[in-house]
């Protein structure tokens, strides 16, 4: 939905006497207030698709409250001061009305959409630039839909090129760091060569996409879709579509994907699901063992009863007590820590045995996808910000007990660190103090410095150079910037003007699965 400052010229529309059931007035309200983010046909864009098929966990009363009051930790504003209760109810009725037809998006549609910009066989054998390929950054500028490839040694731009609309901030790399893969909310997946600085291929793998992941062997890209309810396997060489996997749980219910991540030691993708209490593991090995459909534990030799998923990309269902909207792995990829946005606890799932082994106290809507790990007093800990509370939870990963809750000046979104620094950085992304970034000493769990990259403007998403010497902070504003700090002295080194830079990812940190960055 539109940001509040864009609504001022539209206040007169509040006089439209929309009533529940008045479809034409509701469509006009939707077009005015919602279409920019959620798509003209409700199929999604910057915001999610607004269709009955995608609102299974959102009751109409909750939708009414969300439109009236906005949603915490999102860009969704409240409309109580702009629209009447009748108009809000008309919007609720509208988004719960099925479309006459949802456009299909199958293998044929994907093949038709696919574009080869530069054939892989014709790409150069070595970089055309002098920058260190392991210390490059991919910076997503969502303000004007561009991507900047930044040299992490000189902090100079190698190239800035236009991206697809509503690009997801999370860039993913091939295992050697040569190729970067980018997914947009409207289903486009793009492949870019960091050596030649040229686009390779693009394909539309869905209508509304959550995110993507790249396999450790460099052969596959998995696309997690919100609409349709599918997972798509692409060739990482040229984005040719290989397989579509419908997301249907053990009880036959369809679901949106919430997130997909690669699990390197397991040679598999792990998928969180939005509408069913399961997580999926899908092996990408050449000869995976059969997986019992609907069973929790690993297949054991001789266990022949029941139906099995056989052949490539078998689906292993792990049933849970609750939904998982977000999750985090330990460094060995043995345990998965996840949480639903509407619960007060997290749960630890052991991937070896395929079941929950512990509950964690994680009130305040933890953003586990931004969690980091490090050693504290000789024990491994997980630290995560919260999207509702001004606090950082530090969890002992052997006992799963809370070590400390570090109070901050407001809810945070991103937390980052590096193996070569004793500090962790976390933003205060929401609330009146959204312009500050805290620096926490990992040895004492105390805040030792509070920085203000741009007073009055949101500061967020810290990322480090490959050696950990410098920390890069985004100023999330159309008149924004990338601010580079010395990670030891916290002094500003350089400021690069950018258009609302969001995610920025260092090649080395991502392909080595650094404990200080998201995976």
Among 173, 141, 176, 170, smallest CA distance to 157 is for 141
Find residue 225's DSSP bridge partners: 209
Among 518, 509, 491, smallest CA distance to 135 is for 509
In this structure, the dihedral spanned by the alpha carbons of residues 150, 151, 155 and 158, taken in order and rounded to 10 degrees, is -60
Q: How much is the pLDDT for 295?
A: 52
CB atoms within 10 A of CB 257: 25
Q: How far apart are CA 318 and CA 301, in angstroms?
A: 19
Query: Tokens for 276?
Result: 């069913």
CB atoms within 10 A of CB 164: 19
What is the SS3 assignment for 428-476?
CCCCCCCCCEEEEECCCCEEEEEECCCCCCCEEEEEECCCCCEEEEEEC
Residue where the block lists tokens 């266990």: 303
pLDDT digits (tens, 9 = 90+) for 473-505: 999 999 999 999 999 999 999 999 999 998 899
Residue where the block lists tokens 């600085």: 197
Eight-class DSSP state of 248: B
* Domains identified in the chain and CATH numbers: 4-95 (1.10.760.10)
pLDDT digits (tens, 9 = 90+) for 68-89: 888 765 668 889 888 899 898 9
pTM: 0.85
Among 13, 171, 20, 149, smallest CA distance to 85 is for 20
Q: How much is the pLDDT for 156?
A: 98
Low-confidence stretches of the chain (pLDDT beneath 50): 1-21, 296-306
Q: How big is the CA angle at 298 (ends 292 and 303), to the nearest 5 degrees? A: 55
**145 phi and psi, to 5 degrees?**
60, 60
253-to-207, 341, 357 alpha-carbon distances in Å? 20, 20, 25
Q: Buried b / exposed e across 389-427, counting CB within 10 Å, b at 16+?
A: bbbbbbbbbeebeebbbbebbbbbbbbbbbeebebbbbb
């Amino acid at each position: 939905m539109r940001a509040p400052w864009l609504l001022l010229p539209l206040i007169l529309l509040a006089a439209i006497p929309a009533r529940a059931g008045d479809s034409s007035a509701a469509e006009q309200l939707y077009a005015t207030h919602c279409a920019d983010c959620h798509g003209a046909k409700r199929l999604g864009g910057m915001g999610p698709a607004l269709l009955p098929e995608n609102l299974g966990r959102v009751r109409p009363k909750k939708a009414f409250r969300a439109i009236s009051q906005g949603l915490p930790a999102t860009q969704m504003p409240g409309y109580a001061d702009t629209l009447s209760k009748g108009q809000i109810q008309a919007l609720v009725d509208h988004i719960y009305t099925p479309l006459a037809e949802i456009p299909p998006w199958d293998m044929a549609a994907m093949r038709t959409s696919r574009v080869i910009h530069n054939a892989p066989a014709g790409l150069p054998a070595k970089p055309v630039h002098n920058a260190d390929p392991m210390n490059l950054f991919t910076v997503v500028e969502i303000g004007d839909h561009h991507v900047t490839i930044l040299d992490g040694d000189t902090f100079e731009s190698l190239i800035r090129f236009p991206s697809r609309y509503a690009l997801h901030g999370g860039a993913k790399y091939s295992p050697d760091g040569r190729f970067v893969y980018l997914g947009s909310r409207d289903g486009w997946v793009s492949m870019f060569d960091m050596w030649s600085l040229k686009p390779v291929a693009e394909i539309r793998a869905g209508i509304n996409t959550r995110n993507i992941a790249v396999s450790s062997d460099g052969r596959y890209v998995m696309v997690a879709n919100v609409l349709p309810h599918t997972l798509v396997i692409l060739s990482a060489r040229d984005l040719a579509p290989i397989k579509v996997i419908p997301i249907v749980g053990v009880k036959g219910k369809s679901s949106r994907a919430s997130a997909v991540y690669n699990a390197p030691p397991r040679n598999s993708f792990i998928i969180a699901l939005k509408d069913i209490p399961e997580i999926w593991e899908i092996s990408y090995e050449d000869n995976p063992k059969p997986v019992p459909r609907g069973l929790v534990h690993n297949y054991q030799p001789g266990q022949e009863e029941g139906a099995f998923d056989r052949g490539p990309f078998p689906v292993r269902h792990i049933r849970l007590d609750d939904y998982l909207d977000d999750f985090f792995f330990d460094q060995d990829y043995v345990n998965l820590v996840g949480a639903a946005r509407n619960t007060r606890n997290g749960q630890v799932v052991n991937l070896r045995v395929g079941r929950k082994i512990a509950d964690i106290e994680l009130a305040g809507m933890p953003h586990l996808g931004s969690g980091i790990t490090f050693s504290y007093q000789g024990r491994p800990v997980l630290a995560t910000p919260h999207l509702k509370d001004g606090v950082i939870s530090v969890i002992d990963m052997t006992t799963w007990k809370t070590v400390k809750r570090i109070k901050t000046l407001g809810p945070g979104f991103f937390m980052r660190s590096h193996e070569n620094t004793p500090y962790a950085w976390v933003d205060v992304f929401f609330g009146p103090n959204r312009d500050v970034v805290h620096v926490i000493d990992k040895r004492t769990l105390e805040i030792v410095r509070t920085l203000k990259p741009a007073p009055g403007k949101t500061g967020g998403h810290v990322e480090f150079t490959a050696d950990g010497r410098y920390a890069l902070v985004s100023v999330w504003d159309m008149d924004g910037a990338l601010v580079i700090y010395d990670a030891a002295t916290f002094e500003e080194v350089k400021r690069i003007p950018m258009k609302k830079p969001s995610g920025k990812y260092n090649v080395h940190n991502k392909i080595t699965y650094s404990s200080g960055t998201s995976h």
